[in-house]
């Protein structure tokens, strides 16, 4: 069964990998069990096997870049949201892996009788795009320096879903040192960012979310993430064109656009979803400390 297979090659190794990550951060085995939906004895069993074992298994399913992003997102969720949201995120990630048919070659290799199987094409994934945008926003609200990343044109975070680009209709702004949003995320919340990530998604389907932040800390960010620089851009159309052109040569976490006539310089943070984007923005904010 595909669901049994995804548990074997992805969910179980991921639990072992994250259990080690949380233990290294001082979490008790009881708390780790709550966060991963398993018992304390199960956590103990996971920790008896080296983390490298689980990492090796996961790298047969995910690329290193994707695993790093998933680890970063889960750890950020642990610090920011309720337990059920952590479990929901892992569960939806696993189902999305199945429905994308990315696991089919591994499944067929393990079970040769499935050479013509495409069962997972029938899976319907309830992506809850707006919920992930809200969770990403919650991560930003708890970030110490993220308010310093809000540009003069304000900020938004947008994720592509079945309903199109979902973002905040009134953008994200700062009151004092607090990040605030007008309203709740909805389709059409930012046509510009939805267009931008939509064009990048055509080149790299794994990229489904983007946020704009202030043009700061470029040299520090280069040491942490993959970065591109584009510009000048004298309009939103120029920004979309220039950034999309950059993505034709590779995949980037952050693209710095120098702006142009009447266009404020901004940086654009890309990721697999809104949670991934938010965790990258937190990393950028650390450069301001």
Q: pLDDT truncated to tens, each residue of the chain (289 aa)?
A: 778 889 999 999 999 999 999 999 999 999 999 999 999 999 999 999 999 999 999 999 999 989 999 999 999 899 877 888 888 889 888 888 888 878 888 888 888 877 777 777 776 655 578 889 999 999 999 998 999 999 999 999 999 988 899 999 989 999 988 999 988 999 998 999 999 999 999 999 999 999 999 999 999 999 999 999 999 999 999 999 999 999 999 999 999 999 999 999 999 999 999 999 999 999 999 999 8
Task: Please tell me the total count of domains within the chain.
Answer: 2
> Do residues 218 and 143 both lie within one domain?
yes
Using an 8 Å Cβ cutoff, are 227 and 253 in contact? yes
* Residue 244, pLDDT score: 98
Would you state the pLDDT for residue 110?
Answer: 82
Q: What is the C-alpha to C-alpha distance for residues 77 and 165, in angstroms, rounded to an integer?
A: 22
With b for 16 or more beta-carbon neighbours within 10 A and e for fewer, the 179-209 pattern comes to bbbeeebebebbebbbbbbbebbeeeebbbb
Instruction: Please give the pLDDT value at position 238.
Output: 97
Q: What is the pLDDT of residue 25?
A: 94
Same domain membership, residue 84 and residue 9: yes
Range of the domain at 177: 129-286
The reply to whether 65 and 150 lie within a common domain is no
Q: Are residues 159 and 37 in the same domain?
A: no
Same domain flag for 142 and 281: yes
Q: Which residues, 6+ apart, have CB-to-CB distance to 212 below 8 Å?
A: 151, 153, 155, 156, 193, 266, 267, 268, 269
| Nearest C-alpha neighbor of 177 from the set 221, 144, 220 | 144
Indicate the residue among 107, 122, 137 that finishes a domain: 122
- CA 105 to chain CA centroid, Å, is 25
Is 245 found in the same domain as 118?
Answer: no
Listed in sequence order, the DSSP H helices in 113-173 are 129-141
| Nearest CA among 277, 191, 171 for reference residue 237 | 191
Claim to verify: residue 81 and residue 142 sit in the same structural domain: no
The phi and psi torsions of 162 (rounded to 5 degrees) equal -55, -25
Distance of CA 15 to the CA centre of its chain: 18
Angle at which helix 29-36 crosses helix 83-99, to 10 degrees, equals 50
* Nearest one of 125, 181, 174, 175 to 158, comparing CA atoms: 181
């Amino acid at each position: 069964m595909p669901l049994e297979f995804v548990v074997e090659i992805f969910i179980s190794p991921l639990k072992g990998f994250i259990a080690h990550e949380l233990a290294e951060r001082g979490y008790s085995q009881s708390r780790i069990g709550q966060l991963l939906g398993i018992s304390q004895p199960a956590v103990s069993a996971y920790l008896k096997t080296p983390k490298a074992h689980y990492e090796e298994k996961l790298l047969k399913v995910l690329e290193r870049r994707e695993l790093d992003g998933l680890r970063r997102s889960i750890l950020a969720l642990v610090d920011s949201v309720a337990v059920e949201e952590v479990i929901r995120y892992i569960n939806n990630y696993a189902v999305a892996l199945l429905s994308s048919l990315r696991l089919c070659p591994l499944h067929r290799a393990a079970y040769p009788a499935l050479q013509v199987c495409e069962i997972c094409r029938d899976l319907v994934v309830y992506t809850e795009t707006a919920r992930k945008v809200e969770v990403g926003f919650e991560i930003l609200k708890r970030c110490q320096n993220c308010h310093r990343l809000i540009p003069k044109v304000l900020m938004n975070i947008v994720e592509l879903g079945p309903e199109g680009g979902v973002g905040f209709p009134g953008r994200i702004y700062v009151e004092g040192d607090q990040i605030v949003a007008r309203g709740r995320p909805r389709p059409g919340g930012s046509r510009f960012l939805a267009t931008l990530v939509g064009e990048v998604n055509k080149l790299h389907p794994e990229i489904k979310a983007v946020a704009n932040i202030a043009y700061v800390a470029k040299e520090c960010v280069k040491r942490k993430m993959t970065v591109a620089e584009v510009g000048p851009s004298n309009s939103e159309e120029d920004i979309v064109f220039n950034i999309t052109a950059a993505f034709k040569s590779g995949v980037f976490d952050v693209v710095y656009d120098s702006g142009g006539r009447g266009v404020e310089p901004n940086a654009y943070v890309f990721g697999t979803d809104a949670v991934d984007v938010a965790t990258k923005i937190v990393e950028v904010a650390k450069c301001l400390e």
